């Protein structure tokens, strides 16, 4: 019988590696020095702005937040979301 022991140091190393992997696959724009995503899906925008699907639909319908529809998915530019939050949006 082969027995492997796991130490606290092993767990700490595993934790650091796991967090690094998770950060690689983060879906939201990253902090300084890292590349930000240009396009976000509806569920990502709702989560980012903490709004409901209905509110997001109203933002689309009244022209407040532009979007592109590809197939059945709606995509939003992160830049447009930032402009909306800053109040600098020139969208009619």
Structural domain boundaries in the chain: 36-92
- The pLDDT value recorded for residue 87 is 79
Question: Is the pLDDT assigned to residue 24 strictly greater than 70?
Answer: no
Nearest Cα to 81, choosing from 56, 45, 57? 45
d(CA 11, CA 90): 51
Question: Helix, strand, coil proportions of the chain in percent (round to 5)?
Answer: 45, 10, 40
Give the long-range contacts of residues 5-13, CB within 8 A, separation 24 or more.
none
Residue 52 near residue 68 (C-beta atoms within 8 A): no
Instruction: Note the CATH number of domain 36-92.
Output: 1.10.10
- The pLDDT value recorded for residue 1 is 75
Q: Give 28-85 pLDDT, tens digit per residue.
A: 555 555 456 788 999 999 998 999 999 999 999 999 999 999 888 999 999 899 888 8
């Amino acid at each position: 019988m082969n027995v492997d022991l796991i130490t606290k140091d092993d767990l700490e190393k595993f934790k650091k590696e796991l967090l690094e992997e998770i950060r690689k696959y983060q879906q939201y724009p990253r902090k300084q020095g890292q590349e930000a995503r240009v396009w976000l899906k509806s569920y990502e925008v709702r989560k980012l702005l903490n709004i409901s699907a209905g509110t997001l639909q109203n933002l689309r319908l009244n022209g407040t937040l532009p979007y592109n529809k590809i197939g059945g998915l709606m995509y939003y530019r992160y830049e447009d979301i930032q402009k909306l939050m800053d109040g600098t949006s020139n969208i009619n």
